[in-house]
Amino acid sequence: MNYYNFDTLEVSFLPDNDAVLHVRLNRPKKLNAMNDQFWDDMRSCFDRAARDNNVRCIVISANGRAFSAGLDIQEAFMSSPNASSGEKVDAARHGLRFIQNTKRLQDSLSSLEKCWKPVVAAVHGACIGGGIDLISACDIRFCSDDAKFCIKEAAIGIAADLGTLQRLPKIIGNHSIVRELALTARDMYADEAKELGLVSKVLPSREELLKHACHTAGLIAEHSPVAIASTKANLIYSRDHSVEDGLDYILTWNAGALRKFFYII
């Protein structure tokens, strides 16, 4: 498994289904807080999975007692431009550095959405801040009944900037509740997450959660990888465009994808 060997992730194919890749966040002692290495690991992992013809679906879960505590604040502060010893940075250069550094983080999580293979998230325990950014980029989300979600950024003096504010309103479809969650930084528990549509199903235990997520991924993996990739791409495109644009896009897409099919029939 050297191809999927990472410092902050534990990656393996399911023992009973070698078409499903299981990616586990693997900093359990830090509650899977997202350190600097994590962003490169995630980007590399999902870029590789997108090109790996053996992978047809991906499950993402976490080791330890929490899915993710979000950004590793201590490390992020120490590596920020302001923390450079004795270095004076003007406002323009500080802003440029921030854009460059944060775009790297955004691209890391967007790699889940851009990956051709569907990503099924299995969330247990706390899913805070950057954890919400991460699962918002997944295709399907399940959680255990001990799950707790929180858009924490407002409580620490920033606005979420890695995808939650852009993707979550389109997932839930209720701008009032998204704004409430983001502006109050309150906790949301499993039942409410299910009611709002953030997750598809709540499972009674972590074991049942992983079993259900892996089963769902296995069902997806049984289908044509071309059909699955086409469906994912068109769902994402249609989310961000009008119905008419989406219909035109699927016509163009299938005109190429189905040429051999129509030639046969």
Tell me the CATH number at 197.
Answer: 3.90.226.10
Q: pTM of the predicted model, to two decimals?
A: 0.92
261 shares a domain with 153: no
Cα distance between residue 48 and residue 262, in whole Å? 32
What local confidence, expressed as pLDDT, does residue 74 receive?
A: 76
C-alpha gyration radius of the chain: 19
Cβ atoms of 207 and 146 closer than 8 Å: no
Q: Pick from 259, 225, 238, 257: which is nearest to 20 by CA?
A: 225
Same domain membership, residue 120 and residue 11: yes
Residue 142 backbone phi and psi in degrees, to 5: -125, 160
5-64 tens-digit pLDDT: 999 999 999 999 999 999 999 999 999 999 999 999 999 999 999 999 999 999 999 999
Q: Could you tell me if 75 and 18 lie in one domain?
A: yes
Is 208 found in the same domain as 107?
Answer: yes
CB 138 within 8 A of CB 112: yes
Which residues, 6 or more positions from 1, have their beta carbon under 8 angstroms from its beta carbon?
A: 11, 12
Contact 196, 136 (CB under 8 A): no
Q: Tell me: pLDDT of 3 over 70.
A: yes
Q: Specify the pLDDT at position 259.
A: 67
Q: How do residues 191-213 score in pLDDT, each as one tens digit?
A: 999 999 999 999 999 999 999 99
How much is the average pLDDT of 103-121? 97
Residue 1: pLDDT band with limits 50, 70, 90: very low
**Average pLDDT score over the chain:** 93
Which two structure tokens, joined as six digits, stand for 139? Answer: 């295709």
Q: 139 and 116, same structural domain?
A: yes
pLDDT at 171: 97
Do residues 156 and 112 both lie within one domain?
Answer: yes
Q: Evaluate if residue 75 carries a pLDDT over 80.
A: no
Number of domains the chain contains: 2
On whether both 150 and 167 belong to a single domain, the answer is: yes
pLDDT of amino acid 265: 43
Query: Which parts of the chain fold into alpha helices (H)?
Result: 36-51, 73-78, 91-114, 130-136, 164-172, 175-184, 190-196, 206-221, 225-239, 243-257, 259-264
Here the CATH number for the domain that contains residue 244 is: 1.10.12.10
Give residue 226's pLDDT: 94
Do 234 and 181 share a structural domain?
no
Q: Return the closest-CA partner of residue 28 out of 107, 126, 146, 138.
A: 126
Higher pLDDT, 79 or 253: 253
Q: Which two tokens stand for residue 7?
A: 């410092």
Q: What is the pLDDT of residue 256?
A: 84
Q: Tell me, yes or no, whether 216 and 251 share the same domain.
A: no
Task: Beginning with the edge strand found earlier in the chain, give each strand of the sheet holding 148-150 in spatial order.
Answer: 126-128, 148-150, 188-189
Provide the angle, in degrees to the nearest 10, between the axes of the packed helices 243-257 and 225-239.
160
Same domain flag for 209 and 250: no
Q: Which two tokens stand for residue 138?
A: 């997944």
Instruction: Identify the domain containing residue 121 by its residue range.
Output: 2-222
Do 213 and 232 sit in the same domain of this protein? no
Q: Is the same domain home to 167 and 238?
A: no
**pLDDT, average across residues 2-7:** 91
Is residue 83 pLDDT above 70, yes or no?
no
Q: How far is CA 16 from the centre of its chain?
A: 24
